[in-house]
Amino acid sequence: MNRIKAVQRALASRPNAVYLEIGVAQGVAFMRVAADEKIAVDPAFTMSPRTRRLADAKARVTHYFETTSDAFFAEQGALLERTGIDVALIDGLHTSEQALRDVENTLRHLRDDGVIVVHDCNPARASIATPADSYTDFRRRNHWWNVNWSGDVWKAVVHLCSFRPDLQVAVLDCDFGVGLVRRGVPESMLSFTAEQIDALSYEDLAADREHLLNLKPAAHLDEFVAGPPPQRQAG
């Protein structure tokens, strides 16, 4: 299981599905995902022409926006109003503030039964979780052999679990932590304030990641994507 399989599973059996990917890089995920309409956002695409052809072949329409996610959401409201979003992969700038903003902006256009997949929610080592302003900043703060950067995206999960009683949030224990977000009543919530979340350290995460992230085995994906069982009507 990984972020790409999670996206593919969430998209399965949705007619005319719209897929948004924030942070695309070489297009490793974007070229594999099949949807009716695909939207790619990255301030610095590094997709080869071949990868772009493969990505385009898996959609009726593709859109590429070479810009930051904040600028994309600020400028492309009309497009998103028209298309809506079925499934999004959030994998752009790996700071908790940006990841949270990307989730919140995506939610404004997400269909009622839509699913947001957030990559990099469960860093396995402190070096991977180094808070930094950018990948370049991360490189400056770390030995050259540490190449994986998830930053403190995990705090965005803690924030959602603390402040959003309208969202179901879980993290699959695979591929640097595959976060899942959808509308619905959460199993349980956390009770941190924003200041307390700010003060959490990697050691706090390592000591209690099951609870802080609502960490689940990868096999939980099917149950999450299926959503809550239909409510019984009273009477």
For the CB of residue 112, give the shortest distance to ligand SAM in the complex, in Å: 25
CA distance to 6, 40, 155, 171, 212, per residue, from 209 (Å): 20, 31, 11, 10, 5
118 binds ligand SAM (CB under 6 A): no
122 binds ligand SAM (CB under 6 A): no
By CB under 6 A, name the one of 37, 42, 152, 173 that touches ligand SAM.
Answer: 42
- Our finding on whether 152 is near ligand SAM (CB under 6 A) is no
* One of 1, 14, 25, 111 touching ligand SAM (CB under 6 A): 25
Q: Which is nearer to ligand SAM, 131 or 227 (CB)?
A: 131
Say whether residue 86 binds ligand SAM (CB under 6 A): no
Residue 68, interface with ligand SAM (CB under 6 A)?
Answer: yes
Q: Which part of the chain contacts ligand SAM (CB under 6 A), choosing from 12-20, 86-94, 184-192, 205-213?
A: 86-94
Residue 184 lies near ligand SAM (rule: CB under 6 A): no
- Binning the chain into helix, strand and coil, the percentages to the nearest 5 are 35, 20, 45
Contacts of 127 (CB under 8 A, 6+ apart): 142, 143, 146, 148
SS3 (DSSP) at 105:
helix
Q: Check binding of 24 to ligand SAM (CB under 6 A).
A: yes
3-state secondary structure labels for all residues of 151-196: CCCHHHHHHHHHHCCCEEEEEECCCCCEEEEEECCCCCCCCCCHHH
- Judge contact between 47 and 24, C-beta under 8 A: yes
Residues that bind ligand SAM (CB under 6 A): 3, 21-25, 28-29, 41-44, 68-69, 91-93, 98
